[in-house]
Each structure stands twice: as structure tokens, then as C-alpha cells.
Chain A
Amino acid sequence: MVKAIKIALMGILLALPVYAIDGTQLLQQIDRNLSPESFESYRKIINIEPDGRKKEFTYYTVKKGRDKIAGLFLAPASEKGRSTLRLGDNMWFYIPNVGKPVRITSLQSVVGGIFNNADILSLDYAVEYNVEKVEEKSAEYLLHLKAKTKTVAYDRLKMWVEKEKILPVKIECMTEAGMLIKTLYFKEVKDFGGGIVRPAVLETDSPLYKGYKSVMIFAKIKKRDFKDEVFTLTFMPKMELLR
């Protein structure tokens, strides 16, 4: 009897790794659920001040593969024609009046407000972060992520993920010392067609900007393939041709 119990316990212990959560695979799944690897989409970015005043931007985005993303401002008129490009850790900003792309850094913000360039030109999480730990709760996972390199805007992320849909519901962005920089809230899961079901609204607030809020609303997300040459400095003034 004792022998049988020992064998059963041994079997359970040996079987445990089979059920352990593979954090990296989970993160890759989250990335794919948020968007196809190559796609186009439209976003409205809204900065809201404590007294309710708002500033809105309309932004067209194209992405290819793991590390190529570009965007074009469509509105307001003061921003129209401005475009952004990210290739891995490299980021550029094109202003029609200036007439040439200039390098920007991930902590700057081309729209002001709480979203910085890393938020607007975000790559797949699995490209920039390693999963250090996964905590399993009743309805969600809590992922502890650590930036792969020093060039990533936030050193640590805590990501709450809804188990059923494998979609993030909240992300806390922190410095290396664990100081909270901002919190992202994923809201209003919507079917965009083509098998893309994801949150349509991304809200953020920050203890560094008390009372301020920034919101991203997603629309018309669809799979689309692009040539690599679309993601080059030469193409930045011509991005309107993609629409």
C-alpha cells in the first residue's frame, strides 16, 4: 500500500512539469491575440486633462513582423502628414515642414500626454521582455516581465491577463527600482473581424501626471502584408500612399 502511494506521488511529481505554464509561450500568445504579426489599423489617441479638456489625434499604423512599425497622423490639421517609424530600437519622426526624418527616443512623446513613443510604436511584448514569473490566479494570470535590454522604455512590467481570452486587462510599467511609471488598462473587447478579437480601448494614467489620462481607441484592425521598403526613412513622407 505504502509502495503504491509512493509510486502515485512520484507519478504526480513527474507529471507536474507537463502542467507548468510556459511564460514565454503565454506572452507570445498574448501578442498574437492583440494583433496579427503584420497588420494595419487606425487609432484615436486622446489626452484628457484633470478639468476635462481633451486633445485628440487620429493615427494610421502599419506593422510588419516582430520589429517594424510605422504610423501616420491624419488629424488634427496641425499634425497631419507627420509620420513615425520604428525599426527595433531605432525610432524616427518626420515633420513635413522640417522635411526630413529626425531620430527620436522611446521616452519622448510625439503626442504629449501620458503615452510616450514606446507606447505608440509598441512592438510585441515578447520581443522586448522575458517572462520572469507567472502567477496563476482563479480567473487570470499575473506575468512578471523584465526588459531584455537597457534600451527598452520600461524595465519591468506586471501584466494581468484574462485566462479565458488570453488578453491583458492591466499592465503596470515600472522602473528598474520598482517605481510605478504608468498603468495601462485594456477595455471593451471587440471583434474586429478576420479572427481578431481584442480590447478596443487602452487607457493609461500615471502617478507622475496626477489627474491626467490618455486613451487609445482602436478601429479597422486587419491583417495586411507590406514590403520591407515601406519601413524606411525614404518612405516616411509617402505613407499616405499606403491607405
Chain B
Amino acid sequence: MNRLRIFICLLIFTFLLSRFTFHSLLYAEEYKFDASEVEKKPYHIGGYLEFYPILFSFDKNAALYKLNFYNRNMGDTTKQYNGNLQLEGSLEKGISRLYVKTYTNHNNSYQGETTKTTIFEGYGSLKPSSSLIMEFGKKTLNWGKGYAWNPTAFLDRPKNPDDPELSREGYIVASMDYTKSFSGALKTFTFTPVLMPVYSGVNDDFGEVDHLNAASKFYFLFYDTDIDLMFLTGRSKTTRYGMDFSRNITTALEIHGEFSLINGYAQTSVDSNGNQFQRSYNAKNYLIGMRYLIKQDTTYIMEYYRNGTGFNSKEMRDYFSFIDKGYATYMKTDNTYQLNKTATLFQGPYGRINPATNYLYLRVSQKDPFDILYYTPAITLIANVDDKSFSLAPELTYTGITNLEIRLRTIFLVGQKGSEFGEKQNDYRIDLRIRYYF
């Protein structure tokens, strides 16, 4: 009841803030198109400033609550205040361009106050012709066609399906794009070779250090279908191959898919008594999805993701059961050995954003409901198909004020004991994101 009240109050706040506070300021404006508005400058500085408070409600019976807070009482809820600043800058001269994107997070939570700045991207590019672009530095490559997951994004950090459109930190690479256009069934071809060094201090969180890795992507626009073929080889990670596609079927329907094969993937799992098992196998991952817009301006995004590197339901259940046992031992003896062991596993394979095998993603968003422009309510479901647990996130976004975006969202985590979402440390979370672009 409490959470419902908080959600409704914040919803009303969002609505009132957007409708009335800024309305009078905008109403008086007149539009004009001045030539100076489109004058090009050799440099650009921009970004956004964000206020992002989050309220977490704890599930004290959940395994991950026990693992993270076994020695402290957190109460029923905790608040976290985030102030984020994303800065982007670019400088152009002739065929060369420098680009930097930084992200600063100021966080105030039960753990105290921290401020951290990360360089998300920072690279130089050369464009000797419209067919050829060379880039050197830290950048995100964003391979793959999936919206929530990208099993073919071999050189990127994983997306968070709760916020798939957020910027992510890149890796230091040297890359090139060579593009050729044709008339006929094959309209475009692009070849993208990439070199990625992994050494101490350079991309050392990517994989095994002291190796230079090579990857390539081949893009074809063939019979009105986007097709990519890609691979990654080197010794930092095992060799992997992938392909993806995307195509518009009608004026309102797009379909897409990805497939990847990871050679010799090494998986470490644990049983309910803490015995560890290792196996190596060729992991097959795939994703199939669609984006569909109906006449009432409702957009459906649906994806099914098969994560070949994930754990099955029994393996997930065993892991949570091992945490429960470790917690019971701690409560009886004060011995944290088992809990420490589960914590190590959580920092590895079990702590991945999506550690299980079969997932379903469904997002339904309604543009301008009841003819009220710039309001977009949406609901997002992320389900673990095997254990039937899921997260459900209703949200309301308002974009009617120039350069301001307000989003209010609640994420409910639902599942049985031993299931992925049922064992997460929170029952629900409510977040409000007020973002101002400049």
C-alpha cells in the first residue's frame, strides 16, 4: 500500500511539474528560423545533467539480501541519490576529429558519499574520403541488432536491459570502416577491422592480459536486409563468431536477430553444498526480436534471448541454496567462509546482469495517450522463461519541455524462492530521473 502511495504521489508530482511550472515560460515564445542557428562551429560541447534518486525496498528473505547484508540491518527501504553529468566535446579540423565523452556520478547512499568520473569514450578519427574512416582510442563499437541484449557485441561491455539506451564505457581500440555503395540487390558493404590490445593498464578487465586481439565485422545491405558477419580472435577471450540481421517487413513492423558461437567457453558452477564444477563447451547464443507499431501509436518491442553461457534453473537454485546455507552457518557460528565463497562467485559468473539461459523481453509504450503530446507511458517485462520469475517496470516519461526529460519508474521483482528475480535483494525500486540536456 505504501509503495503504491509513493508511486502515485511521484506520478502526480511529475505531471504537475511538467504541466504547470514551465508552461507559462514556453507559451510566450515565438518561433523563428534564423540562419545563425545553423552556423557550423569547429568545436562542440554538450551533454546532460541528471538528478536520479532511487528508493529500494528490501526482500529480507532473498538470498542476495542475505549475501550482501548478512551482518547489518538495513531496515525495509533505503534511498540513493545520484547526480550524474555526461559531458561530450568534439573538435574538427580538416579530415580529422577529436571526440571525448565523460561520465561523472555523485552518489549518496547508505555506503556514504562517492564521486567518480569515467572517460566513456575518447578517440581521434581521420576521414580521408567518405568511404574510409579510421579511429584510434577509447570507444564503444555497439555491435548487434538486439534492443535489450547483444550476444554479438564481442567488444562491448554488456547492456543493462533495464536501461538499454544508456551510454557505456568503451575499450581502447584501433578500427577502420571501409564502405562501398552499389546499385542492385547489394546496396552497401562495409568492412570494419578492429585491433584491441589487452595489457596491464590497457583494457585489462576485458580478458587475459598480454595479448593483441583482432576482430572484424562485415556489413551488407542486401535485398533490403541489414546483415552483419563478425568474429573475434586473440587469446584474451576464446574465439567467437557471430551474425545478425534486421529488416522492415511492413511500414510498421521490423524484425531482427543475432547468433553467436563462442568456442571453448569455460563455465564454473556450484552445487548447493559449495562444490565447484568446471566445464568447457562451445556456447551458442541467439536472439530474435521485433518492433511493431500499431495505428494507435503503441509500440511493442519483443525479444527472446537464449544465453548459451548462462546457468539452467537447477544451477541457479543450487547457488541460491548455497548462499542460504552459508547464511545459516554464519548465524550459528559467525563463520563467513561459505558466504565469502558465494560472494566470489557473485563477482564472477553468477553476478552477470543476466546469468540464466532463457529470457523474454517485452516493452509496450504508448505515445501521446488520449492525444496528450509528449507523455509516454510504458511497461517493460523481463522474464526468466525457465524459472518463471520476472521484473515488471511501469514508467511514465515526459518530454514536452525543450531539453528536459522526466521519467518516473517502478521496477517490481517477482519470483518464487530459488528463482533469479525472486532471490534479488529488492522487492521493488522506484526511481525518478530528471535529465537536462545542454
Contacts and interface: CB of A to CB of B under 8 A. Distances in A.
B190 A234 contact: yes
A232 B190 contact: yes
A77 B46 contact: yes
Interface string B346-380: 00000000000000000000011001011000000
Contacts of A80: 44, 46, 437
A105 B181 contact: no
B254 A212 contact: no
Nearest to B254: A103
Most chain B beta-carbon contacts within 10 A, residue among A212, A215, A234? A234
B26 A53 contact: yes
User: Chain A interface: which size bin?
Assistant: 35 or more
A151 B250 contact: yes
Contact of A227 (B130, B167, B291, B368): B130
A228 interface: yes
Contacts of B373: 47, 49, 112-113, 209, 212
Interface stretch (A31-39, A91-99, A131-139, A157-165): A91-99
B260 interface: no
A108 B26 contact: no
A91 B438 contact: no
A91 B247 CA distance: 10
Contacts of A107: 251-252, 293
A46 B30 CA distance: 11
A53 B400 contact: yes
B409 to A, nearest CB: 17
B180 interface: yes
A106 B165 contact: no
B177 interface: yes
B374 A55 contact: yes
B181 A231 contact: yes
Contacts of B164: 98
B251 A105 contact: yes
A52 B29 CA distance: 9
B38 A235 contact: no
Contact of B181 (A44, A215, A232): A232
Contact of B402 (A60, A78, A212, A238): A78
A95 B127 contact: no
Given A44-B33, A76-B437, A105 B403 contact: no
Interface stretch (A3-11, A19-27, A82-90, A119-127): A82-90
A234 B120 CA distance: 20
Contacts of B48: 78
A243 to B, nearest CB: 5
Given A55-B402, A105-B250, A105-B251, A229 B181 contact: yes
B26 A54 contact: yes
B35 interface: yes
B186 to A, nearest CB: 12
6 contacts: A44-B37, A58-B33, A98-B142, A102-B145, A229-B130, A234-B190
- The list of the 3 closest CB pairs from A to B, nearest first, reads A228-B181, A78-B437, A99-B142
Interface of B: 23, 26-27, 29, 31, 33, 35, 37-38, 40, 44, 46, 48, 88, 92, 97, 127, 129-131, 133, 140-145, 147, 164-167, 177, 179-181, 187-188, 190, 192, 219, 221, 224, 226, 246-248, 250-254, 256, 291, 293, 299, 367-368, 371, 373-374, 399-400, 402-405, 437-438
Given A42-B38, A46-B31, A76-B403, 11 more contacts: A53-B23, A53-B27, A58-B37, A58-B38, A100-B142, A105-B248, A105-B291, A108-B293, A112-B367, A229-B180, A241-B97
